[in-house]
Amino acid sequence: MQILILADNQDVTRYGMKAIAAGLYPVCVYVEALDWKSLAESLAEYPEACVVLDYTLLDCSVEQLLVLHERFPKADFVLFSDQLGRDFVRRMLLAGSSFHVLMKDAPLAEVNQCLRDVNGGCQFVCGKAKDLLREEGKKQNRMAPLTQTEKEILRAMALGKSTKEIAAERFLSVYTVATHRKNIFRKLEVNNAHEAIRYALRAGIVNTVEYCI
């Protein structure tokens, strides 16, 4: 017996998913969870269920989802939305094979395949998510690697230090540090410090706890 927890407050989505699942599973129990509290309660009752979750409508964070996964490690989570955040998707997929990605505008065949894969114990990632992650991988491969000095300067930037402060700490001229900044932006193919710092956070050059901007 398949158990689906539909954590989505859009009526049409819940009814549509029920109709699709009915064609795949001989016996299926449907549970509706319209907010975070009812989702947790539903999982407590059905800890091995498949959760079809629109994380944008329930306004849940990565941390909340990871906590839920820790509490209910046998549950599957189909992240079902019309918005696709690359960093969010990457973090969830790296968290384990219990997380799956499916877009709301996916064709019926892809929705069916997602439910079959989940039922068969396979991780599912929709075509759009794969294309997004593949494109990011290509961009990173095109990037020239940062030198150790450039990484250290980028880390200092992320910690809120000015060009003048970085120059004083490293016994360099302000002009030299400014040149390093320009080289960092060029290599990362970004236009400003904010975009460069986002890269530093993703790449692990800067710990999120240390980030003060």
**48 and 149 fall within a common domain:** no
| Top-confidence residue, 90 or 180 | 180
Q: Is residue 64 part of a domain?
A: yes
Q: Is residue 136 part of a domain?
A: no
Q: Is residue 183 part of a domain?
A: yes
The whole-model pTM stands at: 0.65
Residue 39's domain comprises 2-127
CA distance 85 to 93: 12
**10 and 80 fall within a common domain:** yes
Task: Quote the number of domains for the chain.
Answer: 2
**183 and 103 fall within a common domain:** no
**156 and 115 fall within a common domain:** no
**62 and 28 fall within a common domain:** yes
Give the dihedral sign, CA 71/56/199/140. Answer: positive
| Top-confidence residue, 136 or 149 | 149
Taking a C-beta distance cutoff of 8 angstroms, is the pair 55, 102 a contact? Answer: no
Taking a C-beta distance cutoff of 8 angstroms, is the pair 41, 66 a contact? Answer: no
To the nearest whole percent, how much of the chain has pLDDT over 90?
49
pLDDT value at position 190? 82
Taking a C-beta distance cutoff of 8 angstroms, is the pair 72, 98 a contact? Answer: no
3-class state of residue 54 by DSSP: coil
Can you give the CATH number for the domain in which 53 is found?
3.40.50.2300
Q: If you ran DSSP here, which 8-state letter would residue 173 be given? A: -
- Whether 59 has a pLDDT exceeding 90, the answer reads no
Can you give the CATH number for the domain in which 166 is found?
1.10.10.10
pLDDT in tens, 174-213: 999 999 999 998 888 788 888 888 877 776 666 655 554 4
**43 and 114 fall within a common domain:** yes
- Whether 80 has a pLDDT exceeding 60, the answer reads yes
pLDDT value at position 193? 86
Q: Is residue 135 part of a domain?
A: no
**16 and 94 fall within a common domain:** yes
**60 and 118 fall within a common domain:** yes
The average pLDDT across 158-174 equals 91
Q: Is residue 195 part of a domain?
A: yes
**39 and 118 fall within a common domain:** yes
- Whether 15 has a pLDDT exceeding 80, the answer reads yes
The average pLDDT across 102-112 equals 93
| Top-confidence residue, 48 or 61 | 48
pLDDT value at position 145? 80
Taking a C-beta distance cutoff of 8 angstroms, is the pair 187, 196 a contact? Answer: no
- Whether 150 has a pLDDT exceeding 60, the answer reads yes
- Where does a domain end: 75, 95, 127? 127
pLDDT value at position 201? 76
Q: Is residue 172 part of a domain?
A: yes
**104 and 29 fall within a common domain:** yes
Residue in this structure with the two tokens 């029920």, named with its chain if needed: 18
Q: What angle do CA 24, 57, 112 make, to 5 degrees?
A: 15
**49 and 96 fall within a common domain:** yes
**186 and 111 fall within a common domain:** no
